[in-house]
Amino acid sequence: MEGSNLVDDRRCFACGPDNAEGMQLTFEYGDGTARAVFRPQRRFAGWTTILHGGILATLLDEAMAHAAIAAGIRAVTGRLEIRFRKAAPIDRPLVATGKVDGRRGRMLSLSATVAGEDGTLYAEGQGRFVSDDGAQT
């Protein structure tokens, strides 16, 4: 992205392929949407069988960031609001899905969910991201 301060060094904790300690998320893109399947490991647990809430928050945040990328926009989190619905297990795949809900100048409104493959909703979030594309508000 020309003139961008957001440079991908491939070491992002959530999606960086060169970060062996990270989550190794890989996203599929749609029109302003992004989706990734995460297979939790015990090292991401908060309690013995439950995924740490910070990892759920990271999944939501990253799904929103990648939804922005799917829309052709690189952006950073300005505000993130999370609603934890149910304790997420560490022994089953989780699906993180994000979408762009709107844009006004450099400000993007996004939302995301983390659910089981069976549709069980574990967390949902809404965020405001700020784009790095020079658009004026």
Q: What's the domain count of the chain?
A: 1
Residue 1 pLDDT: 36
Residue 93 pLDDT: 97
Closest Cα partner for 115 from 99, 100, 83, 93? 93
Of 109 and 134, more confident: 109
Asked if residue 8 is part of any domain, the answer here is no
Domain that holds residue 83: 28-131
Report pLDDT digits (tens) over 57-93: 999 999 999 999 999 999 999 999 999 999 999 999 9
Asked if residue 106 is part of any domain, the answer here is yes
Rounded distance, CA 88 to CA 68, Å?
Answer: 25
Averaged pLDDT, 93-109: 97
Residue 137 pLDDT: 40
How do 75-84 and 28-29 pair as beta strands?
unpaired
Query: Per residue in 73-88, is it b (16+ CB within 10 Å) or e — as a string?
Result: bbbeeeebebeeeeeb
Cβ-based burial of 120 (10 A; exposed 0-12, middle 13-18, buried ≥19)? middle
Rounded distance, CA 90 to CA 42, Å?
Answer: 7
Report pLDDT digits (tens) over 16-37: 787 888 888 999 999 999 999 9
Asked if residue 23 is part of any domain, the answer here is no
Q: Which CATH number characterizes residue 105's domain? A: 3.10.129.10
Asked if residue 18 is part of any domain, the answer here is no
Asked if residue 55 is part of any domain, the answer here is yes
Residue 135 pLDDT: 52
Asked if residue 101 is part of any domain, the answer here is yes
Rounded distance, CA 73 to CA 57, Å?
Answer: 21
CB 74 within 8 A of CB 68: yes
Asked if residue 22 is part of any domain, the answer here is no
Asked if residue 137 is part of any domain, the answer here is no
CB 56 within 8 A of CB 122: yes
